[in-house]
């Protein structure tokens, strides 16, 4: 069976506006910094107060600013991400955030593995005590696949397409929560 999030969309934990969201991709230099800003903007327009941050599953780019192509594509649509510093997702994030959103299937699998390990390490915790792990594209009815692909090896058109998808998904979450 294909792996899906641990939290179906009709679950109350995603249908109600969370207090905090962590958006996660692989490097935290392309997709998730753009998604952080797009979601912040949509949530602000909806008048919802929410703490939104981003991180990567990998450690290669910790402390770096975003990829220049991501900065440029984002800037062309009014998102300023050049001051972002890449961070790696860690175990404490699962206690800190209400929802952790994965960009693609690999990010999702990696996040669910961290959560599973935490539950195995601490038997007094239940799944609902930790962040719910979902796909960023999960609430978006406009695309057949819910995975937002890695544009790192791609060209400028790939970054534009990825940002199209990110904006559509961010808008869908805000619609759900408003």
Least distance in Å: CB of 149 to ligand 4NP?
9
- The runs of H, that is alpha helices, within the chain are 12-15, 31-45, 68-76, 93-96, 105-121, 156-177
By three-state DSSP, how is residue 175 classified? Answer: helix
Distance CA 30, CA 46 (A): 25
Taking residues 100 to 139 in sequence order and writing x for each that binds ligand 4NP by CB under 6 A, - otherwise, the string is ----------------------------------------
110 is catalytic: no
172 alpha-carbon distance from chain centroid: 13
Cβ 53 to ligand 4NP shortest distance, Å = 14
Is residue 29 a contact point for ligand 4NP (CB under 6 A)? yes
166 near ligand 4NP, rule: CB under 6 A: no
**Is position 71 an interface residue for ligand 4NP (rule: CB under 6 A)?**
no
Least separation in angstroms between residue 159's CB and ligand 4NP is 10
Q: If you write DSSP's letter for every residue of 9-53 in order, what string do you get? A: TTSHHHHSPPSEEEEEESSSSSHHHHHHHHHHHHHHHTT---EEE
Is 28 a binding residue for ligand 4NP by CB under 6 A? The answer is yes
Torsion of CA 42, 44, 50, 52, to 10 degrees: 50
Among 62, 106, 125, 152, binds ligand 4NP (CB under 6 A): 152
Angle between helices 156-177 and 68-76 (to 10 degrees): 60
* Stretch in the footprint of ligand 4NP (CB under 6 A) among 28-36, 41-49, 90-98, 110-118: 28-36
Active site residue 150: yes
Nearer to ligand 4NP, 29 or 50 (CB): 29
Closer to ligand 4NP by Cβ: residue 138 or 150: 150
Catalytic positions, please?
25, 31, 150
């Amino acid at each position: 069976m294909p792996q899906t999030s641990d939290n179906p969309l009709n679950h109350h934990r995603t249908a109600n506006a969370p207090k905090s969201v962590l958006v996660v991709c692989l490097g935290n230099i392309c997709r998730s910094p753009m998604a952080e800003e797009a979601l912040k903007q949509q949530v602000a327009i909806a008048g919802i107060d929410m703490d939104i941050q981003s991180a990567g599953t990998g450690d290669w780019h910790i402390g770096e600013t975003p990829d220049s192509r991501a900065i440029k594509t984002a800037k062309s649509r009014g998102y300023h991400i050049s001051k972002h510093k890449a961070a790696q997702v860690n175990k404490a994030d699962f206690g800190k955030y209400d929802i952790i959103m994965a960009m693609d299937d690999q990010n999702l699998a990696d996040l669910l593995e961290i959560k599973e390990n935490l539950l195995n390490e601490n038997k007094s915790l239940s799944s609902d005590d930790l962040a719910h792990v979902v796909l960023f594209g999960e609430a978006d009815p406009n695309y057949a696949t819910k995975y937002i692909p890695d544009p790192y090896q791609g060209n400028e058109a790939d970054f534009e397409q990825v940002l199209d998808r990110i904006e559509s998904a961010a808008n869908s979450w805000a619609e759900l929560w408003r």
